[in-house]
């Protein structure tokens, strides 16, 4: 239910390997000659062979035809792949429950199935509907021209050389994506607002008056967009780990810098208490110094691990990936220990944690997730996914400035140039403005260093009918943590399930402690 690891890392590598939001029109304003979607005759059958879990669960799959361009509803259509697990208790059936796992760029055909352990008895009251967003997975997928074999870092480098390489890669990704096949016709229609419209088309195709929804990370923002475009079609909507609707995607990346450094401080204090095991320093400051020395060295000479050179930008992304969850503290310590040993020429085989990350870096899934993220980051005209500066020097200047206060993560969140800087087709619509009273249940962790807590508070103020459940944890994602092996937050899980069960929001905002925490 979290943002998939390949997606999260892929968005960062989009820049390495490959101002406020403009005033939006009224959120309910249709685009061009947009018309209401209709019920469709769907050809239900087994899901594709790739969807093993869905088939084992007895799900069926189908395709919903939607307009490529909602301003031209009679024009070209594309296919949205959906899955369905029917409500196990027809007499208690509430309706349909859709979900999105985040990204942007995450596929979701099996995502609602993955929610079942957390939903518990509530799952039997809903038809669980999964879907791949347009142009991803099995929904009229878009691909880019092959990138060719990656160029590994050389034996020596500089921060500017690393940045210039990321700029060249982003420019090449934009070219390969826009010039491939009929992408020039498709890509202008990759936007969060269109995915929300596709969700409404799914609802109509199934003959349902409204839909319920759970989304995490970018999926949370997608849910908020849906409530603005289709307020009367929103039933019970839960958004987990959301962002400030007054910021662009690049600004949201930048705002994560401070919380990421705070998360690293928290981890460093923990690692200092584990010095006898990891040997990274007996105080938090000494642990931080160990990390900084590692990065400073890699900015001159990339570190070789298992025959693969790792430069400082890639190391920073791995650190960011692991610092998100408190439960990953031991893995982060193990990875840093291995990298320090590798830099000193003392590492034999990497430990299982670093070996798994190296496998992810070399996975073909990483490239696919990078492409999916780029489509929506470049297609949105503002919040939640768009708004990227065009001048590469903007990223470089911000990177240089950030090092004084954010020495570890400032270069990541400020220098993450997306292919959007070189995208030829401008967004068709502005970002989405938030201003209505649709009831929404919001969840957020206070120490979320991916999408900071202050952003959720800003969205909460705009969603005037919402209730906010706060979890005092370092985590990205709050609901269903126990089913993923993390420390659960029972009162947050209960709030979600109670809302889906009986439709009652909490009477006030809540603050929850994780399981077993002192109260």
Instruction: Report, as residue numbers or ranges, the catalytic residues.
Output: 217, 448, 476
Is 431:381 a contact under the CB 8 Å cutoff? yes
Q: Which residues are 238's β-sheet partners?
A: 214, 441
Distance CA(320)–CA(353), nearest Å, equals 14
Distance CA(418)–CA(389), nearest Å, equals 9
Ramachandran region, residue 459 (left: φ > 0; alpha: ψ -120 to 50; beta: rest): alpha
Q: For the CA atoms of 22, 27, 29, 30, what is the dihedral angle to 10 degrees?
A: 100
Residue bearing tokens 């990204």: 103
The token duo for 4 is 């998939």
State the alpha helices, DSSP H only, in 380-451: 392-402, 410-415
CA 107 vs. chain centroid, Å, equals 11
Q: Mark 414-440 as b/e (b = at least 16 C-beta within 10 Å).
A: bbbbbbbbbbeeebbbbbbbbebebbb
Is 15:366 a contact under the CB 8 Å cutoff? no
Coil vs helix vs strand at 389: coil
Comparing CA positions, the residue from 214, 213, 216 lying closest to residue 240 is: 216
Is 489:448 a contact under the CB 8 Å cutoff? no
The token duo for 237 is 């909507």
Q: Mark 157-172 as b/e (b = at least 16 C-beta within 10 Å).
A: bebeebbebbbebbbb
List, as one string, the DSSP characters of 198-228: HHHHHHHHTT-S-EEEEEETHHHHHHHHHHH
Q: What is the 3-state secondary structure (H, E, C) of 103-134?
A: CCCCCCCCHHHHCHHHHHHHHHHEEEEEECCC
Is 280:289 a contact under the CB 8 Å cutoff? no
Find the helix packing angle between 257-273 and 312-323, rounded to 10°: 80
Find the helix packing angle between 284-298 and 329-343, rounded to 10°: 50
List, as one string, the DSSP characters of 273-285: HTHHHH-S-SSHH
Comparing CA positions, the residue from 121, 120, 126, 98 lying closest to residue 111 is: 98
List, as one string, the DSSP characters of 136-174: STTSS--------S-----SS--HHHHHHHHHHHHHHHH
């Amino acid at each position: 239910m979290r943002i998939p690891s390949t997606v999260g890392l892929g968005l960062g590598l989009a820049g390495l390997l490959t101002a406020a939001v403009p005033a939006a029109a009224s959120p309910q304003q249709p685009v061009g000659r947009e018309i209401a979607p209709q019920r469709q005759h769907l050809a239900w059958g087994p899901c594709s062979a790739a969807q093993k879990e869905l088939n084992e669960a007895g799900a069926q799959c189908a395709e919903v035809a939607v307009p490529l361009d909602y301003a031209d509803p009679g024009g070209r259509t594309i296919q949205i792949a959906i899955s369905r697990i029917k409500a196990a208790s027809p007499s208690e059936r509430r309706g349909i429950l859709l979900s999105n796992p985040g990204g942007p760029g995450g596929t979701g055909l099996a995502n609602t199935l993955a929610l079942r352990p957390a939903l518990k008895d509530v799952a039997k009251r809903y038809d669980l509907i999964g879907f791949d967003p347009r142009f991803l997975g099995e929904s009229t997928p878009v691909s880019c021209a092959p990138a060719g074999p990656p160029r590994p870092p050389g034996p020596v480098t500089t921060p500017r050389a690393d940045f210039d390489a990321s700029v060249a890669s982003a420019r090449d990704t934009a070219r390969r994506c826009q010039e491939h096949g009929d992408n020039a016709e498709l890509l202008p229609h990759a936007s969060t607002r269109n995915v929300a419209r596709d969700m409404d088309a799914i609802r109509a195709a199934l003959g349902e008056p409204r839909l319920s929804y759970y989304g995490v990370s970018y999926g949370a923002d997608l849910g908020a967009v849906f409530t603005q475009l289709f307020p009367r079609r929103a039933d019970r909507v839960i958004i987990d780990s959301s962002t400030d609707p007054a910021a662009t995607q690049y600004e949201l990346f930048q705002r994560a810098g401070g919380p990421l450094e705070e998360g690293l401080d928290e981890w460093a204090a923990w690692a200092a208490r584990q010095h006898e095991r990891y040997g990274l320093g007996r105080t938090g400051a000494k642990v931080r110094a160990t990390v900084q020395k590692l990065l400073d060295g890699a900015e001159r000479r990339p570190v070789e691990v298992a025959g693969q050179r790792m430069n400082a930008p890639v190391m920073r992304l791995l650190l960011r990936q692991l610092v998100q969850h408190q439960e990953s503290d031991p893995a982060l310590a193990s990875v840093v220990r291995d990298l320090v040993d590798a830099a000193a020429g003392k590492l034999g085989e990497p430990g299982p944690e670093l070996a798994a990350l190296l496998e992810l870096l070399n996975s073909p899934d990483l490239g696919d997730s990078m492409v999916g993220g780029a489509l929506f980051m470049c297609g949105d005209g503002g919040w939640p996914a768009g708004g990227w500066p065009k001048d590469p020097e903007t990223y470089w200047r911000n990177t240089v400035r950030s090092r004084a206060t954010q020495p570890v993560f400032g270069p990541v969140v400020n220098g993450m140039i997306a292919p959007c800087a070189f995208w030829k087709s401008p967004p068709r619509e502005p970002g989405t403005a938030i201003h209505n009273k649709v009831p929404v249940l919001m969840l957020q962790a206070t120490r979320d260093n991916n999408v900071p807590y202050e952003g959720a508070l800003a969205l909460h103020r705009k969603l005037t009918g919402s209730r906010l459940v706060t979890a005092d944890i370092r985590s990205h994602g709050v609901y269903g943590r126990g089913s993923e092996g993390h420390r659960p937050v029972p009162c947050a899980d209960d709030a979600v399930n109670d809302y889906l069960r009986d439709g009652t929001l909490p009477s006030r905002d809540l603050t929850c402690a994780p399981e077993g925490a002192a109260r």
